[in-house]
Amino acid sequence: MNSKVKKIWATLLFIGFSSLILADSNATFENLIKKIADFNSGLIVHLDCQDPALTELIKKAKTKSIIHALCLNKKDLEKVRQYLVSKNLYGAITADQMYFEKLPYETNLVNLIYVKNLKLTSAKSKILQEINRVLTPEGILVIGPDIKNISQAEKNLKEAGFIKVEIVQGKWIKAVKARPSEMDDWSHYNYDASGNKVSHDKLVGPPTSVRWLAGQQITDHGAGNLVTGFVSAQGRNFYLVNEVPLQSIAKPQLALLARDAFNGLLLWKKPLPDNTSRSPLTLIASEDKVYAVLEMKGSLVQLDARTGEILQCYKESQGLSGVKYHEGKLIITGGSNGPISCLDAKTGNLLWKAKFKTKKKKHPGKYRIGMKSTDGQIFTNCVVYEDRLLILDSYGSPGYLSALDLKTGNEIFSEEITFTKHNSSGLALVSVQKGVLIVGEAYHGKAIHAVSTKTGKLLWSKGYSPLGHGGRHTEGFFVQGLYWTHIRENNVKVGNKRRQAHFWKGLDPKTGVVKRTLKYPKEAQVTHRCHMDKATDNFFIAGSMDLFGLKEEKHFPVRYTRGSCEVGSVPAQGLLFTVPNGCACQVFLRGFQGLFSEDVEPYFKEESNDVSFEKGPAFSSPLSANEKWEWFSFRGNLIRESAVSSMAPESPKIIWKIKTGEELLSPIMGKDHCLIASKTGKLGLYEMKTGKKIWEFIAGGAFDSPPTIYKGRVFSGCLDGWVYSLSLKTGELVWRFRASPKDRRTLIFGNLESRWPVSGSVAVKNDIVTVVAGKHSAVNGGLLIYGLKADSGKVLWKNRVYHPGQSGILGGVLISNGKDIVLKKYRINQKDGSIQGIGSKFPLLVVGNRGSSILHMDWWARETWKNGKVSGQQLAYDETRTIALSVFTRDGKPNGRGQTRPGFKDYWLTSYKDREKLWSKNYGIRARSLVLTSNQIIIGGNPDPVLKELEGKVKINRNILKKLYQRIPKDKLYPKTGKVAGLDVADGKVLWEIEIDSRPIDHGIAVSNGKLIVITKAGNIIALGK
């Protein structure tokens, strides 16, 4: 063998050996990430990402997690993004650049951070402090394998406060962030087995900021409460929910959900039969276990809190009505073992059944652990105190108070209730502490009664006038040694008016004597809702969500959100949690929420080393106007009217179709091109003739709406808090401006976005780009409104709008009436950014003033679109005509409120000339997109399967429909297929229909120059024309 052949063989062997080493190394790394973290759904950051192949392996190891690659320079960022796009991974993994030593994430947000090499020269290094800040409690830091001094790194991590610091396989370090001792859980509906609704979480305070939003945004009283049960333990939240789409009469879609308490990500979901009880008194969380009932009249089960896996079933509990957990014991009421029994939580063994000495009880089998009043409050009639179980038997008269020994179940005492003149069914156990049990009487006696926990004898009684739903005096709690009750005085003079005055009275538990009084300001409006007041050791939480500080003796009103019916708001894990509600009283943020308290002002102080503006390679290109774009922004133009003057094709066909597999947004369309944005942060320009992609741009975050085309430029806001200006011709960056005051990102409905996001469809008029950064003017320090020069990005003016403690204004897509730029109901002055109310008669499309959004069809009966002439759930209109889509009807009349019943006079289209009704029809399409052209009305949505079932039926009523909904399978009742149709604008006659494999997205159709672009839920781009 000659030397040349030897060299070739040596090279091949080296390559093969190297490949084996690399493959083995990759497998080792993937397995390491799999085993090192006991979650599959979380937020993972690859810090100082230089090798995107490692990021890909992280995604393979944690398939359901959100992966963010953070690079230290532009060169690495470009390389990482190109790699991810080439592997079709961008979106599942996103990437951006880090500036200086500040991580762009919210505190306590990230579940795992991986960094290949981190110079840990000191436990006080800035980057280590930042890592510790952004990791969730018990979040994980992984370093390796390139660690120069592994023992020193281990020492520094321990000194920095990390726990469970360990060296893995000799070359990796795993470190866990400690859980703050100031945090507390909320294990039962009323905090714990004692029923004293007081958290000992010292980090909870007035919620000035949003940590996360998630899940369904809108619920409605027509469908009942979305969430009826909520508990929280060890960084995980658990919810009993009804996820039925819309407010229909279809079967409930019940489930037990688990979310990460620190970032809101869904950990697991366990669907439940539609007849399962949704009682919150059968849901408990304790450390790493969850206890719940998963079927009607079923037994209690124990689940793994991390995975939702059922660990054991307590057969002795079948048919239970409620449960308490206390020191390893499960106290069961109702079910197969009689009125009250006790099980060992670990083994499931029966420890005892209730043993009563007395025979005075007429109804010993009717013990009830819970009593639900008509306004949604739930009281526990069984509480644990020290060595005993205290029980209120309120069935019939007389009622009894009893105590059972927790160890044996033997009766300690049983006292007939004589302290009320009314039926004892109006009584409820409120709270217990300091040897005193408080019994509330809401509707008849209107009083509270204090009873000795040792003897069951009455200590004292106090009468109060009812306050709010059923009387807030029945919902007090023990805080700082006193029993606190919420009362009011009527007819108090405030200025020239007379109003109600609210107080907290702190009573001596033994005597009932008032020891301390806390007064709300006279002007305070504490509106009580159908949920209970709660507290921490430092704050009372009452009304919609009004906090009152015990130390400051100060009222902290919250108006940008509220507690929901039954659940209210819950303090735990350093946060204040609430869930979706159907209230339209204020301008609310929507969804499942994690809120926290902080000083927001430091975010708005300018820093000299801050990066807020960047020039791109196309910065020198001037503004121009080569191609006319008839549909140049969201819903066509800045008026958002979803109407064009051109004609739609008479009998269109599919010209081309592109399957992207991505979550796409509403299309932008011109004569020769269309521009498509995705929620992953991509922008792509396509040829209208062929569908060929001309260019693609990737932003630093997600988009929520399409961009705006203006004079040869593409202008887009981004949820990363930046505004981008691109060349329409090449897709190159011209400039970008950070509208958010700081780069601080959090998780909003599963997207990593800035605290101060900017909607994509910015308003550009008279060479001024008007943008709004922020979600709501009452949270996160408010909104920032800018006027930027279109050509250069120079800031012309800036205005901060902050309304702490007020209803405020929502951020989002700006709208115009052709002259002014308007945010909701406020005109933005184009000289200085100041805002001014426009009044109710202003001719403008008004959407989302109560928390819904123009971007999404939430189908919320309590809010409609209005254009100064007519209203509906969606409108398309021009100067004289309006087409209104009415999803909710009542008695066959469009725009009613109530339950959606597809196929039964719902999803109607009504045509108006000015305010005059021309015609109204139902087309059997659950429309999500609506466009008005000069000759047609284009609608797109799901075909309605109920209509076929109703054919030939003479009489249609609710009972017939309900039977249909029960019979039709879920996949057919809510089909994924879609339909697009063209209707004659004159009389509504169907001109053409095209079936597509997926429904159009909300606002997913654009029309221009005789062609249509349709964006589908499945991520397809479809071009229609002749």
Write the pLDDT tens digit of every residue in 920-954. Answer: 888 888 889 999 999 999 999 988 777 666 655 55
Is 776 a domain residue? yes
Report residue 378: phi and psi, to 5°: -130, 120
- On whether both 159 and 257 belong to a single domain, the answer is no
Is 182 a domain residue? no
pLDDT confidence bin for 357, thresholds 50/70/90: low
Q: Are 578 and 593 in contact (CB under 8 A)?
A: yes
Percent of the chain exceeding pLDDT 90 equals 60
Q: Are 377 and 532 in contact (CB under 8 A)?
A: yes
Going by C-beta distance under 8 Å and a sequence separation of 6 or more, which residues neighbour residue 492?
A: 498, 499, 500, 501, 522
Task: Domain of residue 172: give its range.
Answer: 3-177
Q: Which helix (H) or strand (E) holds 492?
A: strand 482-494
Burial string for 735-774 (b: 16+ CB within 10 Å, else e) reads bbbbbbbbbbbbbbbbbbbbbbbbbbbbbbbeebbbbbbb
- On whether both 485 and 370 belong to a single domain, the answer is yes
pLDDT confidence bin for 204, thresholds 50/70/90: very high
**Domain edge (last residue) among 599, 623, 652:** 599
Q: Which helix (H) or strand (E) holds 9?
A: helix 3-36
- On whether both 202 and 134 belong to a single domain, the answer is no
Is 188 a domain residue? no
- Angle at CA of residue 780, ends 779 and 785, nearest 5°: 90
Residue with the larger pLDDT of the pair 656 and 335: 656
Q: Mean of the per-residue pLDDT values for the chain?
A: 86
pLDDT at residue 3 above 90? Answer: no
- On whether both 669 and 770 belong to a single domain, the answer is yes
Q: What is the rounded distance in angstroms from the CA atom of residue 288 to the CA atom of residue 993?
A: 54
- On whether both 563 and 624 belong to a single domain, the answer is no
Q: Which helix (H) or strand (E) holds 798?
A: strand 795-801
Q: Which helix (H) or strand (E) holds 372?
A: strand 370-372
Q: Are 797 and 787 in contact (CB under 8 A)?
A: yes
pLDDT confidence bin for 906, thresholds 50/70/90: low
Query: Strands of 835-837's sheet, edge to edge?
Result: 815-816, 821-823, 826-828, 835-837
Q: What is the rounded distance in angstroms from the CA atom of residue 734 to the CA atom of residue 624?
A: 13
pTM of the model: 0.92
- On whether both 657 and 552 belong to a single domain, the answer is no
- On whether both 619 and 582 belong to a single domain, the answer is no
Q: What is the CATH number of the domain that holds 592?
A: 2.140.10.10
Q: Are 942 and 977 in contact (CB under 8 A)?
A: yes
Report residue 213: phi and psi, to 5°: -130, 150
**Domain edge (last residue) among 177, 206, 222:** 177
Q: And the tokens for 410?
A: 């033997």
pLDDT at residue 403 above 70? Answer: yes
- On whether both 88 and 208 belong to a single domain, the answer is no
- For residue 228, the model assigns a pLDDT of 86
pLDDT tens column, 272-285: 988 888 788 899 99
- On whether both 545 and 408 belong to a single domain, the answer is yes
Q: What is the CATH number of the domain that holds 766?
A: 2.130.10.10
Q: Which helix (H) or strand (E) holds 83?
A: helix 74-86
pLDDT tens column, 756-787: 999 999 999 999 999 999 999 999 999 999 99
Percent of the chain exceeding pLDDT 70 equals 85
**Domain edge (last residue) among 599, 624, 646:** 599
Q: What is the rounded distance in angstroms from the CA atom of residue 708 to the CA atom of residue 634?
A: 7
Q: In the chain, how many domains are there? A: 3
pLDDT at residue 857 above 90? Answer: no
Burial class (CB in 10 A: 0-12, 13-18, 19+), 46: buried
Q: What does the pLDDT average to over 625-629?
A: 78
Q: What is the rounded distance in angstroms from the CA atom of residue 731 to the CA atom of residue 48?
A: 27
Q: What is the CATH number of the domain that holds 47?
A: 3.40.50.150
Least confident piece of the model among 308-312, 603-607, 798-802 = 603-607
- On whether both 19 and 73 belong to a single domain, the answer is yes
